[in-house]
Amino acid sequence: MLRWNNPTLGSVSPERFIPIAEESGLIAPLTEWVLHRACAQNAAWQAAGLPKVCIAVNVSMTLIGPTDLKRTIQSALENAALEARWLQLELVETALAEPHAAGSVEELRSLGVSIAVDDFGTGYSSLSYLGNLPVDTLKIAQAFTTNLYRDPPQGNAVALLEAIIGVTKSLKLHVTAEGVETTRQLERLRELGCDTIQGYLYAAPAPAHVAANWLALGRLEPEALDATTPRLIA
């Protein structure tokens, strides 16, 4: 998810500027810029000898259109000389529920990139359509993770997560939980079979040079995190 560090306004959250970009018609050029920057940055990390990782970019297939988006992605990959397998596109589930979504996603996937369903559970959630879509990863929305171990407990949070993860794994998809902030959440998600996590437990949003340090030094140690400086261990 894109972050904007403005010299006057400071750190501006995507919740503030993305809707403005969508309403003003600037989302297409903004997405193009982000894709080119992301591919170029990943290629630079690889050229520097850092571990190869897949970089994920949020895109709007509904607002841009699959044909234009495919052209932009192809251009970004070629300009950066980056292999397509090192780029993942994150699409919101509402866009994937559209009647012609499967064909549109397949068109993008034909480039060799991977596809993730982002924020699953925030829209018209239905696991039924996943079996008909050429996607690789399902990202469970933060709301499901947050409900784990709330006081008082939030309904059937664990049962819902277990069902989502179970069906996702049966479809041979990779599953990621968003918004993980505690080791207790991490341990429970691991028990439920979640593949990867995303959240402040490991790191807050950070600039490229900080991410490069993480890649160079190894993995984050959750127990050593504080509010300002995540500690890295080899």
Instruction: Band the pLDDT of 152: cuts 50, 70, 90.
Output: low
Confidence (pLDDT) at 126: 65
Q: Span 72-92, mean pLDDT?
A: 96
The reported pLDDT for the residue numbered 234 is: 24
Give the phi and the psi of residue 203 in degrees, each rounded to 5.
-170, 150
Q: Domain limits of the chain?
A: 46-64+83-233
Residue 63 pLDDT: 63
Rg (CA), the chain: 18
Residue 41: pLDDT band (50, 70, 90) is very high
Residue 221's pLDDT is what? 45
DSSP code per residue over the chain: ---EEETTTEEE-HHHHHHHHHHHT-HHHHHHHHHHHHHHHHHHHHHTTPPP--EEEE--HHHH-HHHHHHHHHHHHHHHT--GGGEEEEEEHHHHTSTTHHHHHHHHHTTT-EEEEEEETSSS--GGGGGGS---EEEE-HHHHHTTT-SS--TTHHHHHHHHHHHHHHTT-EEEE----SHHHHHHHHHHT--EE-STTT-----HHHHHHHHHH-EE-GGG--SS---EE-
Contact call for residues 202 and 186 (beta carbons, < 8 A): no
pLDDT at 37: 96
Cβ of 121: how many Cβ atoms within 10 Å? 19
Q: What is the mean pLDDT of residues 88-98?
A: 83
**CATH class in words for 46-64+83-233:** alpha beta
pLDDT: which is higher, 225 or 190: 190
pLDDT: which is higher, 218 or 162: 162
Q: Both tokens of residue 219?
A: 């993995």
- What's the pLDDT at 219? 53
Higher pLDDT, 67 or 113: 113
* pLDDT value for 154: 62
